[in-house]
Structures are given as structure tokens and as C-alpha cells.
Chains A and B, each alone.
Chain A
Amino acid sequence: MKKNILILGGGQAGIYAAREIRQNDSESNIKILGEENLLPYERPPLSKDFLLDKKNEEDLYFHSSEVLKNENIDFENVSITKVDFENKKLFTKNDDVYIYDSLLIATGSENKKLSLYNNLKNDVYYLRNLEEAKTIKEKVLNKNKITIIGGGFIGLEIASSLSQLQKKVTVIEIGDQLMGRIIPKQIADLVQSTHIDYGNKIILNKQIDKITKKNANFEILLNDNSLIETDFVIAGIGSTPSVKLFENTNLNLDNGIVTNQFCETSIKNVYAAGDVSNFYHPLYERNMRLESYQHAQNHGICAGKNIAGVKTEYTSIPWMWSDQFNLNLQLTGICNDYDEIIERGNDINNGIIYFFLKNKIIRGACGLGIAGKIGRDIRITSKLSEKNTIVDKQILSDQNQKLNKLIQK
């Protein structure tokens, strides 16, 4: 049956869902409604290769307009301001109406903002979209001392890039380690040493009391009364799911849009995927919300299948990466629920991985290495954790023994 399928959100989950629907349904109308006047593009390079001029705008698009045209997928740049789930309608502020039979919400997440005096609102920069990346890239050209508030992935990737552009970078983190929300301390400490080796200054355990503008520059007062002088301030202090549009509706919200393992929300024919979705994961038997490239892609594909009537459970093992300087960090599975840690390797040139086990079953791993050194073992860990494998700890801890032998076929 020919349907009207709307995808709200022009990011990675949205485009992968659209193409997957088309693979399974040649008839229905598929339209992506994007808030940015850009075809869906890759965000990971924004903080890295884009800032470093190794990639330009054209390199970022997932697919050309030709691909979308060939697959009969419409893209419209429009901002939706009201949702009527009962009558299956979306509205713009001018009351233009979009009618759907099935709706996928893939609105992603948005940056948390620092609470600042109003007069400084425009002086602190954030990075989520291409426009913001362009602004930062242009503005830092004639700046030297850069301060980054927040020692998470985005802050550290920007710190790495700006250091490579010969800037003097200071990172201020409120917690007692970098990337503390999900990365084990052992790995975070290695990343911290690398930043310091390259000349970046890392300040942990400090809060910001005040930021004062001094002519074109700033003074940042920390809670230990120390003062940092800086030319430019960037903040990366986490994100929240983009759900404002749905706050006064019947849609079940709890840290994002609550979905089951089939990407279905509490409202029939309404699905959610990617950063915005707090989804049920059958392997972990609980809900989780992830903000990662692989998840946006795979969750979008899964939603696409379900929308097209191909009932598919989402069982993807969480996986994410960060590239800083010449290091590649990867994490798979769950690394914060364990009763045993096993270390593999002790030299980042060959890669170091920490495995996290619970009841002898491998639950997750986090590793750090030059370029792709840890990729294979991290990927094998995903496969092992997917099957709840009990593994030989001797093999895990011995870098001379290959892990692919552990995969049961």
C-alpha cells in the first residue's frame, strides 16, 4: 500500500532510514524534513579533518542529490513547530501542513549551553553543525590562546585539531578525569598524557565561577581563584535529546523518546531513531540512549525496515570512536557494569585494550592505539559480547594470541 512517510530530521539516522525504506518499499512517498538547508552530512569530521582543512564541505555529504533523486527520496528544508499526532499532521510556523501515515522522528540532540550572563552569550562557541564548524574555523584564524570548557569527546577533538593548528589550548573539565561519562580512567589518563605531550594544558576538577570580557579577550575565573586569560572560548559540555516539539503531546518522553526494540514509540505509526531515542536493548534488557555515528546509522536502518513492514529487532552492540592527534580510541559494549577488568597490551603503538567482564562474560572493551591498531580486537569483542561468550582470560590478556580464534561460528 502506498503511504506518506515523513522523516523529521535531516541527519544520519534520517537518511539511512529513508534509503532502507526505499529498499523495501518502492511505492511510498518518502520525505525528509531537515532544519538545516543541507543534505544529510557526516558530523565526525567537523571537529577534526574539517577544522584541519583536510576535508571540505563537499566531502561531508553522505549521498549526493543524484542518489536521493534516483531513489525518489524528497528532502525539504523546513522547520516544524507543531505536531498533531492524533490527526497525523506536522505544522510549520506559517501553518503549512505535512500529512503522514508513518512518521520517523530523528531530530537528534542539541548542545547543552553554559548559563552565562546575557552579554557573553554570543562569545562562547559550540560545535554541532557545519555552520558552527565554519564559524569556529574562521574565528580562530587570528586567535592564539583558546580555552575549551568540557573535557569530553568534542572538546578534546577540537583541542587536538587546534593544537595541530599551533594554538595554545587549555581544556577545563569539571570532573576528575577526561571523558568521564563513559571512558574508563585508565584510557582517559593515556589520552590526557598525549594532550599534555603535544602542549595542551588540561585542568581537572575545576568549575568556572565567572567569565569576564576584557576588550577582545576574556578572563576565566575558576573556583580555586585561579585566572585564565584567553582569546577565544569554546564549550562542549554535553547534549540533550531534541524533544521540545513533543513536550506537550502524548508521546512518551524520558531522557528522549522512549522506544521499544523495533524503534516504535508510544504512539502507533510513530517511530524514533538515533540520538533522540531512548530505546530498549534486548541484550542488556534495559533502555539506553546513545549519541554515536554507528548507532545513528544502524538505528536509522532498523527503523527504516520496521516502517517498511520488515519487523526487525535492534540488537546492535554499542560502538563509538574518537580520533585525537594520531590516536584512535574505541569503545564497544558496556564498560561501566563489570566485576573484572583485563588488560591487553601496554604500549599505545601496538594498542592497549581494557576488557570489562561480568560473571566471566565479556560485556565491553575500551582501547587506544595508533591509527587502527585496536580496531580488530574491539570488533571481535563486539561479536563476543553479542553472544555472551565466556572467554579464556589468558588469551584476552596476551597480545601475542589472536582473538579471532575465540569467535564461535
Chain B
Amino acid sequence: MSEENWIEVGSTDSIEEEDLIRFDHQDKTFCVYKLTDGFYATDGICTHEAVHLEDGLVMDDEIECPMHQGIFNIKSGEALSPPACEDLKTYPVKVDNDKIFIKID
């Protein structure tokens, strides 16, 4: 695991608990979440239609698409409820000195 792939997202207090922020890096969009047990990251665009998940509802480890209500598990990326049927890609997250980093491949 090379160090240069860890990208700084922001400080840990930039996300409220059970919420998310959108993070754009190069031409990609990610969502970074703060759940009760830590930080998580997924792709920022729904797998059903090209909709940003940043305006979706985070609840009980799940993110729900704001346009068509597809639901994904934030930790595993699993598509839990139609119309979403393709899983969401997830990314490793680490916290270092109150800063959040995600590992982009």
C-alpha cells in the first residue's frame, strides 16, 4: 500500500455524525461519511442513474439516493433496495491528526 494514494479529504469535524460530505478529486466524486463507529467512503454517484449521493439521507449505516431512493450499505457498498441493483464502490479511510484520508486506487 503506497502512501501517495491516500488523499486528504478534510478535518474530522467537517462532517457531522450520521452525515456525509462530497469530495471531488481529479475527475471523480466521492462521499465521505461519519457513522457512529467511524469514517467511511464510497463513490459519490449512484449506480442506478448518474445522480450525486451528497444530497441523500444517511441513516443506520445506509445512504439513500435523493432522486430515486435506491439504498446502499455505506460500509460494504451493497445495493440494498431497488431501483439500485449494482453495488457502490467503497474506499478505505484513515484518520491521522484529526484529518480524514481516503485511499483511491
Contacts and interface: CB of A to CB of B under 8 A. Distances in A.
A372 B66 contact: yes
A328 B67 contact: yes
B7 interface: no
Interface residues of B, number: 20
Contact of B55 (A323, A375, A402): A375
Contacts of B69: 294, 319, 375, 379
Interface in B31-58: 51-52, 54-58
A376 interface: yes
Contacts of B56: 372, 375-376, 379
Interface string B50-79: 011011111100001111110000000000
A372 B52 contact: yes
Contacts of A16: 82
B66 A375 contact: yes
A297 B52 CA distance: 22
B92 interface: no
A407 B59 contact: yes
Contacts of B87: none
Interface in A344-385: 371-376, 379-380
The A interface, classified by DSSP as helix, strand, loop or mixed, is: mixed
Nearest to A328: B67
Given A372-B51, A404-B18, A297 B65 contact: no
A409 to B, nearest CB: 8
B59 A404 contact: yes
B67 A379 contact: no
A362 to B, nearest CB: 16
Contacts of B16: 402
Interface string A284-301: 000000000110010000
Contacts of A323: 67
A372 B55 contact: yes
12 contacts: A16-B82, A42-B83, A63-B85, A319-B69, A321-B67, A371-B67, A372-B66, A375-B66, A376-B56, A376-B57, A376-B66, A379-B64
